[in-house]
Chains A and B, each alone.
Chain A
């Protein structure tokens, strides 16, 4: 699609010439995200405020041009990709923290604020914003809300949607609405805030967020426990929670992951270790030692190979190194990875891992699993070499089986990455036709011309899955 010059001119009038680009280099640079797919937009705009976004969306409706909102472009499901050309609307300039209200424990921010910057700002005041997606150092709060991002701490603290209590949104037809508010309670009308969070930019563009804050936990303590089997590690997760301790994080790595880390780093991991849990407890400092020793007691009968407990922040960092080295180590297995983020009930984690191993063997593709054991959210990394013929097809088939298994165990295809365009073809595996139709009705009613982020979550033309 080539956009008429007058459309570009109007965009320039709205945001200023410096904030509109059609240069081929910029089109290339705004064509991708962390899925490594690439779709060239026709124009990229950098609006400064809500009013400008409203005008852009109204123009897009008049001219029938799709609009693709983009934060940091770090998504793992293609949520920000301009898959049919058109306008990329980057929120980079809307990066101000507008207010941190210490009396009411809420903050107001623009969508382009980087998550970690916000966390640091509130932590300086002794406050806490828990959601911690792995991308928090660069992803934006707007993007986090659009995808309903998760993270390790969600086992105790919940996900992004649990902290967004109000929004300002530009609707698919360009109106500006406010949802929710600054109060913890509010039941007037539909809960549009919850509808927007996780809607992946298909139902509106988030232009301001009202965020609930907690008091910052006084201290935290990290322990790393190695098990001789994945079953032991999984049972440990349930046992810890049954023991009435909810750790702030409960991360696991399976045998295949540990093998990658052994090969990729010089970290010491005993040969007998087949699974690792990294457990972090937080709260009042005096409680933490009691909690870690209680956890040690609980897990002891479950095949513990070794337990390391960090006494200092530096030692804690040392323990986390094992988890942080995973991504880079994976490349030693195969150059390309499909990172799926299925989620199953906590108790089904060992079944799921066994099934994935079986799929991995059957397709002769390495699959490495790690992730958030506490909430059953497993990062299934299907490692392939895309340059080898047939590997991509095999990976696609394996991914579909992984999704099917997750659903069979009562789980979901995506715990935190969202559907985007990558999982859109599989939507009907998880949702029944009536539910899909319900969503389509909402989308069509709000966005009759399919202007906002078309082709995400819901396909324009549903595909037949064999």
Chain B
């Protein structure tokens, strides 16, 4: 069993909020809704009221705690570094524990009152769900991310591939030369890369072959557990974490790479906080772009012949990398690519608005946030927006489509793979 902090455990951090209001400048949800209960300062007050037995766990509490992207921006810029994202997660665990796991979804369908949802449900959402998720295991975060009955009809969704990544590539790819002396990486694929964006995983394999580095893709791996975390479902988090710890213990590896920023947080940040038996895997987690920079890929890319009419590309910072301070590596790689002219966009560091399940339950707000992102992409003049998280890529494409822009979102790895000989 993992150790998950309770809301009460966060009492000192909750007390550290001095109500200065600085979080208002950071919170994308607040900027869209302009209600104090949506911003960190308000959520902290609401959580404190619950701890002091002055507020209930009721529908309103569920709604308030659901209105968080868990992007960590407020935590970053808080003068007292109050971890509101973690406090919201603890509040969601509290909801699940007191009211049952399904409360979150049930209450929110009631509260958000989106009639279209009900239409989809009536039109046999369950049948659709079966079709879409055929290949996806019961506990995959994808089922939480896309609970079909909730999904807005006009939302862009990537197609589920009939052939997941882990069926497409070998389990172990040794280096052609000096295999034994080279660092071995285990690839944590995550659900989205495995089931919806296998091309990102294939690009990763191509880059590893180019660098002639050994790669192992543990076959028994599963979902990182982040979506379950976001829903307060600790039992599923533990179950998934146990399975992953076992899956990755089969070989001794030097690093566990992720190409999904959310999975990176899922196994990195969260396993580390769950206790010793998970921390070992958590500490090994490394974003693939950071790893590639460390392996000298930037220099190797710079040595390639330049392309004549490079494609103009901008970059979106996934929250789960930005909050770890990983902002330079993806840009360094993009700038080094022979076929890319890199341009910054305004608001690159702002959350895309997906927030995992947030966009499912609060799609309207999510779209407002995404629209601002689309403005930034448009005025940057870029043809492509690259990122390092399939979740962001999905949301960026949705925002681009709704803005009527003729642009595409993709992973940095895909661009690297395109430019390799």
Contact = CB atoms under 8 A, between A and B. Distances in A.
A93 B55 contact: no
A328 B80 contact: yes
B64 A34 contact: no
Given A26-B36, A33-B19, A34-B19, 5 more contacts: A25-B46, A74-B24, A135-B22, A327-B80, A328-B81
Contacts of A34: 18-21
A285 interface: no
Contact of B21 (A138, A328, A335, A337): A138
A340 B137 CA distance: 59
Given A114-B25, A137-B25, A30 B60 contact: no
Interface of A: 23-26, 28-36, 46, 72-74, 92-93, 95, 114, 116, 135, 137-139, 327-328, 331, 335, 337
Contacts of A116: 25
A36 B64 contact: no
B19 A327 contact: no
Contacts of A328: 79-81
Q: Which 7 A-B pairs have the closest CB atoms?
A: A137-B25, A74-B21, A29-B36, A92-B34, A138-B24, A138-B25, A29-B42
B36 A30 contact: yes
B327 to A, nearest CB: 14
Interface string B1-39: 000000000000001101111111100000000111100
Contacts, number: 70
27 contacts: A25-B46, A25-B55, A25-B60, A26-B35, A26-B36, A26-B37, A29-B37, A29-B42, A29-B45, A30-B36, A33-B21, A34-B18, A34-B19, A34-B20, A36-B18, A36-B19, A46-B34, A72-B21, A72-B24, A73-B36, A93-B34, A135-B21, A137-B22, A137-B25, A138-B21, A331-B16, A337-B18
Contacts of B42: 29
Contacts of B34: 46, 92-93, 95
B157 interface: no
A25 B21 contact: no
B325 to A, nearest CB: 15
A331 B80 CA distance: 8
Nearest to B20: A34
Which of A29, A72, A92, A116: most chain B CB closer than 10 A? Answer: A29
Interface size class of chain B, counting residues whose CB lies under 8 Å from the partner chain? 20 to 34
B25 A32 contact: no
B19 A32 contact: yes
A116 B24 CA distance: 12
B16 A335 contact: yes
Contacts of B35: 26, 29, 92
B74 to A, nearest CB: 11
Nearest to A325: B79
Contacts of A23: 60
B49 interface: yes
Contacts of B64: 25
Contacts of B55: 24-25, 28
Contacts of B79: 327-328
A93 B35 CA distance: 10
B82 to A, nearest CB: 11
Nearest to B49: A28
B333 to A, nearest CB: 21
Nearest to A120: B346
A33 B37 CA distance: 14
Contact of A28 (B15, B24, B45): B45
A74 B21 CA distance: 6
Interface string B362-400: 000000000000000000000000000000000000000
